[in-house]
Structure 1
């Protein structure tokens, strides 16, 4: 399957910031985006083949069936958020699109196989080791050489209905 075949499941645009409060204020005042839900997390990811810790702050706002996400890298494997991004420039810096992987875990496993066959690298893979018991899985794929930005894929167990991105 080609990456373009999955664009029908696109549900999120994601931006990187150096200052979450200022970025949310900008989104509100300049873009009219409100209703952000904030979170902070530290997780273990497989990052370009190495298990590493990643800490970020995130804020998401729903806009119809889509999401506007802001990420502030905090510590650990933050290079994919900071390399090639001018955090000293604009308060919001485009980084990636996110595509939903719907259905059972078998669809997630197929997606991983498709990515491996594409030749693109996994910038992040969570959980760091494949786990059919996982309830949420995501990966960032380094598609910069082909389309100029990263592509995130997100799978949620269908039992988490209502939490999954709308398609």
Structure 2
């Protein structure tokens, strides 16, 4: 299932700071947001809190999300994909959907398992489908209110 608007390529790394430095040298960055967050996540193995260091690097209308898992059992989706060194490894794409409820109504009708969910209801919600057998990577779907999209550096469609 591919719906929505592709806006993000995401990478995992052991060193977000190094990755950001490389983007600053090699890319025409429009917006850069860096943070460390603690988020409540659901996985098929259970719920928990994951701490991640993140950078959102906008190059034109493409966001490159850089993810460094810090702690939390629920972060195995990222941790299992980490390279052995400080390089970047491609992890997933993200599709922005306009109507979360309509999207969620379709999730049970498609063949790919949900492997991660999180967000803040009414503000920003996301989930990952395991599309690796089909596409070679995970596919994230995200919905957010317009103010949150603008705060993340997004432009109107």
**Same-fold call, TM cutoff 0.5:** yes
8 Å CA contact 2:41–2:116 kept in 1: the answer is yes
> Runs of 4 or more off by more than 3 Å in structure 1?
158-161, 163-167
Residue 58 of structure 1 aligns to a residue whose secondary structure is: strand
Q: Of the candidates 87, 103, 128, which is equivalent to residue 140 of structure 1? A: 128
Scaled by the length of structure 1, what TM-score is found?
Answer: 0.81
Query: Over aligned residues, Cα RMSD in angstroms?
Result: 2.2
Scaled by the length of structure 2, what TM-score is found?
Answer: 0.85
Q: Distance in 2 between matches of 1:160 and 1:19?
A: 26
Unaligned runs of 5+ in 2: none
Q: Count how many residue pairs are aligned between Structure 1 and Structure 2.
A: 153
The corresponding residue for 1:109 is 101
2:111 pairs with 1:119: yes
8 Å CA contact 1:46–1:127 kept in 2: the answer is no
Q: Deviations over 1:30-65 (max 9, x none)?
A: x32545210111111111252121111100111222
Unaligned runs of 5+ in 1: none
Q: Of the candidates 47, 67, 90, which is equivalent to residue 63 of structure 2? A: 67
Q: Deviations over 1:72-116 (max 9, x none)?
A: 011111111122x242146111000011012xxxx2122122222
